[in-house]
């Protein structure tokens, strides 16, 4: 809104927002005559093409000044013109750019910008001629996003660097790594393909929520158990790095008016979920970074405290496109076991990252999976620290894709993605780590070095097993690959919803039921998930149902077992059938789950007390 004023004066009174700009005496109070007062609001849509908006604004304003013969112009921030405000840091940046361009075009002494983020008292005397009151609105033109220029290479374990086409023309190439090179370096898509993992997701109760939008899942009792077990396991692994790690919990919404939040969120662009509440523009977090950084900047840290980790299992939200979402893998809402590690130097970061790398590969090998790496690096890091990248690749034991980005466009200098090639022949990123050199300064995270000086740490971002859902995706993928080899597919016992099922031969036998209950109690005392199939169905049907649920240990108890004090146990993974004393069964399961979390069951112990789990009925064996 433009007012040609005979006179205009203002005085800044008090801060209206937390990050109001600092005042000097010149900005605090001004009085002018024959001035154009431009009440200005920057909207969030302006951020799509700010240069275009600024150009239109300044062109119009210079033309208007010439027509009304004004002496000066005041850019006056006025949030009340729109309910769709841009975040304050972005608004201030645009207003400063408007001011700078106008000063160059009409003169330094003819432009005033009133202070941003302050309550101000003002007095305005409008001339009242036909052109003295105008309004203008500027919309960004539709723009095509500029692609970031990237360079792709293949770095061999012997240090040789090849262009992707040259690498693929050589003989004896790992067929799975070839798939990764073609997709990540050459941009070749595999096209539509049936994903057999969807069958297992449905079998264990991982489903889309039909009452939500794309990419949001719901979890039945079995799925919930798997989710909780993997979540707890992610925390256990974080404690295996040999450094102090703090576990925290925080909110999932942050105010874009805070400059560090805005600057960090800006990197995700249209992948953000955002909302407006109580005149605030909020972003829903896409990782645990915001919360952990907000807490870390309040810590008083010494060089003696580092390395220091902070862990949160964060519900995270990313606006993936509807055609991109994949059940259990690419989601709009997922659970990220985010670990951030503060270190003093690059050397220390490399040492800690080697420990991360060891755990990452170890966890994949436990599932008979193999990781292939994509090393995303900035050009300056690639030119000066290629030896560091090569050292990581040698530790991987396989050649790697290297993608080189222009320096300074992201907060990281090294971003490593670990991919499996899934049972459908697609690369799937699971685990990751990054070297972050920007966010400590952005959020004000500091430590005191040996000489008493304040320093900004390097921050390692990592998810040792990837998101919880992606790790579960890998569990299912491993089972499918096992099935393709002609073996019995299974989940690890620690992640199986039910670990032991006890089946009395005669559900009407008091002796058998009492003995079954005694065995179940021994297992429950060790937090082993056990249930009892007491349904009035045939023994064969109940055994088949246990197989359909992939239960690792199925114990049948009849008259003979009651008399001999044993349990007739079938072990799914090996198809062995053995008679065990109850105490032996307990020891057998405890050995199987040693080193893994113990999570209590999500279902009633007796199957006769449960409703039919529809997803199990729909799922295949």
Report how far residue 334's alpha carbon sits from residue 315's, in angstroms, rounded to the nearest whole number.
6
Which 8-state DSSP code applies to residue 114?
P
Q: Which of 134, 158, 177 is the last residue of a domain?
A: 134
Report how far residue 379's alpha carbon sits from residue 400's, in angstroms, rounded to the nearest whole number.
17
| pLDDT beyond 60 at 307 | yes
Residue 259 confidence class, pLDDT cut points 50, 70, 90: confident
Main-chain dihedrals φ then ψ at residue 579, nearest 5 degrees: -95, 125
Nearest to 337 by CA among 356, 316, 365: 316
* Cβ contact 56:99 at 8 Å: no
- Region 122-141: mean pLDDT is 89
| pLDDT beyond 90 at 80 | no
pTM: 0.85
For residue 621, the model assigns a pLDDT of: 43
CATH of residue 84's domain is 3.50.80.10
- Region 235-260: mean pLDDT is 93
Residue 105 confidence class, pLDDT cut points 50, 70, 90: very high
Residue 597 confidence class, pLDDT cut points 50, 70, 90: very high
Neighbours of 452 (CB within 10 A): 7
- The more confident residue out of 27 and 184 is 184
| pLDDT beyond 90 at 413 | yes
Residues 293, 439, 24: CA angle, nearest 5 degrees: 95
Residue at 248 is within a domain: no
Structure tokens that stand for 355 in this block: 């420990």
Residue at 193 is within a domain: no
Residue 256 confidence class, pLDDT cut points 50, 70, 90: confident
Residue at 58 is within a domain: yes
Q: Which domain holds residue 561?
A: 493-618
Domain count, the chain: 2
Structure tokens that stand for 45 in this block: 């849509």
Q: Which of 15-24, 337-346, 439-448 has the lowest mean pLDDT?
A: 15-24
- Region 23-45: mean pLDDT is 89
| pLDDT beyond 60 at 584 | yes
Residue at 528 is within a domain: yes
pLDDT digits (tens, 9 = 90+) for 177-206: 999 999 999 988 776 678 899 999 999 999
- Region 519-534: mean pLDDT is 98
Residue at 388 is within a domain: no
Q: Which of 27-31, 208-212, 569-573 has the lowest mean pLDDT?
A: 27-31
Long-range contacts, stretch 58-61, CB < 8 angstroms, 24+ apart: 58/98, 58/101, 58/102, 58/105, 60/136, 61/2, 61/36, 61/102
Tracing tokens 């974080």 back to the chain, one arrives at 238
Q: Which of 88, 111, 134 is the last residue of a domain?
A: 134
pLDDT digits (tens, 9 = 90+) for 470-516: 999 999 999 999 999 999 999 999 999 999 999 999 999 999 999 99
| pLDDT beyond 70 at 269 | no
Q: Is 179 helix (H, G, I), strand (E, B) or coil?
A: helix
Report how far residue 573's alpha carbon sits from residue 491's, in angstroms, rounded to the nearest whole number.
9
Q: Which of 134, 166, 194 is the last residue of a domain?
A: 134
Residue 616 confidence class, pLDDT cut points 50, 70, 90: low
Report how far residue 605's alpha carbon sits from residue 536's, in angstroms, rounded to the nearest whole number.
16
Nearest to 547 by CA among 503, 582, 507, 505: 503
For residue 276, the model assigns a pLDDT of: 82
Q: Chain-wide mean pLDDT for the chain?
A: 92
CATH of residue 606's domain is 3.40.50.800
Report how far residue 447's alpha carbon sits from residue 457's, in angstroms, rounded to the nearest whole number.
7
Residue at 141 is within a domain: no
- Region 385-389: mean pLDDT is 97
Residue at 284 is within a domain: no
pLDDT digits (tens, 9 = 90+) for 308-334: 999 999 999 998 887 788 999 999 999
Residue at 371 is within a domain: no
Tracing tokens 């004004």 back to the chain, one arrives at 70
Report how far residue 75's alpha carbon sits from residue 8's, in angstroms, rounded to the nearest whole number.
12
pLDDT digits (tens, 9 = 90+) for 419-445: 999 999 999 999 999 999 999 999 999
Report how far residue 612's alpha carbon sits from residue 559's, in angstroms, rounded to the nearest whole number.
29
Residue 618 confidence class, pLDDT cut points 50, 70, 90: low
Share of the chain above pLDDT 90, in %: 77
- Region 401-413: mean pLDDT is 94
pLDDT digits (tens, 9 = 90+) for 147-184: 788 999 999 999 999 999 999 998 688 899 999 999 99
């Amino acid at each position: 809104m433009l007012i040609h004023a005979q006179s205009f004066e203002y005085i800044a009174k008090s801060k209206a927002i937390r990050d109001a700009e600092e005042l000097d005496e010149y900005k605090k109070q001004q009085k002018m005559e024959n001035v154009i007062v431009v009440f200005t609001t920057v909207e969030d849509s302006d951020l799509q093409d700010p240069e275009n908006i600024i150009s239109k604004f300044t062109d119009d304003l210079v033309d208007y000044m010439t027509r009304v013969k004004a002496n000066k112009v005041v850019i006056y921030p006025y949030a009340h013109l729109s309910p769709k405000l841009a975040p304050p840091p972005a608004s201030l940046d645009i207003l400063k750019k408007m001011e700078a361009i106008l000063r160059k075009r009409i003169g330094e002494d003819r432009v005033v910008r009133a202070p941003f983020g302050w309550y101000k008292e003002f007095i305005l005397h409008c001339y009242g001629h036909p052109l003295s009151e105008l309004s203008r609105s500027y919309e960004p033109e539709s723009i095509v996003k500029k692609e970031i220029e990237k360079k792709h290479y293949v770095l061999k374990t012997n240090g040789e660097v090849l262009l992707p086409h040259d690498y693929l023309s050589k003989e004896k190439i790992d067929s799975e790594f070839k798939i990764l090179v073609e997709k990540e370096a050459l941009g070749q898509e595999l096209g539509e393909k049936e994903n057999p993992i969807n069958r297992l997701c449905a079998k264990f109760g991982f489903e889309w929520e039909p009452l939500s939008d794309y990419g949001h899942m719901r979890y039945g009792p079995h799925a919930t158990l798997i989710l909780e077990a993997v979540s707890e396991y992610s925390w256990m692994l974080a404690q295996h790095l040999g450094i102090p790690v703090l576990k925290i919990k925080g909110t999932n919404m942050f105010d874009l008016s805070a400059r560090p939040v805005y600057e960090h969120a800006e990197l995700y662009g249209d992948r953000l979920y955002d909302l407006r509440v109580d005149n605030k523009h909020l972003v829903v977090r896409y990782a645990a970074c915001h919360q952990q950084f907000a807490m870390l900047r309040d810590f008083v840290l010494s060089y003696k405290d580092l390395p220091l980790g902070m862990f949160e299992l964060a519900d995270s939200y990313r606006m993936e496109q509807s055609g991109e979402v994949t059940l259990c893998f690419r989601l709009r809402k997922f659970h990220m076991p985010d670990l951030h590690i503060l270190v003093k130097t690059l050397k220390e970061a490399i040492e800690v990252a080697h420990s991360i790398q060891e755990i990452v590969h170890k966890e994949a090998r436990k599932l008979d999976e193999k990781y292939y790496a994509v090393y995303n690096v900035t050009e300056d890091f690639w030119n000066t620290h290629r030896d560091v990248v090569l050292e990581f690749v040698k530790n991987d034991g396989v050649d790697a894709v290297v993608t080189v980005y222009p320096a300074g466009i992201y907060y990281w200098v090294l971003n490593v993605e670990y991919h499996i090639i899934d049972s459908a022949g697609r690369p799937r990123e699971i685990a990751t780590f990054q070297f972050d050199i920007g966010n400590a300064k952005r959020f004000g995270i500091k430590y005191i070095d040996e000489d008493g000086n304040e320093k900004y740490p390097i921050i390692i971002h990592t998810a040792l097993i990837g998101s919880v859902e992606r790790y579960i995706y890998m569990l299912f993928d491993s089972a499918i690959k096992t099935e393709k080899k002609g073996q019995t597919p299974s989940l690890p016992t620690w992640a199986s919803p039910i670990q032991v099922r006890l089946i009395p031969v005669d559900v009407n036998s008091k002796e058998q039921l009492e003995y079954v209950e005694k065995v179940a109690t021994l297992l429950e005392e060790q937090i082993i998930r056990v249930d009892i199939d007491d349904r009035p169905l045939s023994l064969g049907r109940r055994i088949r149902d246990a197989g359909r649920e992939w239960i690792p240990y199925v114990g049948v108890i009849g008259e003979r077992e009651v008399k001999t004090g044993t349990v007739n146990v079938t072990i799914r993974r090996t198809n062995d059938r053995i008679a065990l004393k109850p105490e032996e069964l307990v020891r057998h399961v405890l050995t199987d789950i040693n080193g893994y979390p113990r999570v209590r069951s999500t279902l009633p112990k007796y199957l006769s007390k449960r409703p039919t789990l529809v997803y199990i009925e729909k799922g295949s064996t």
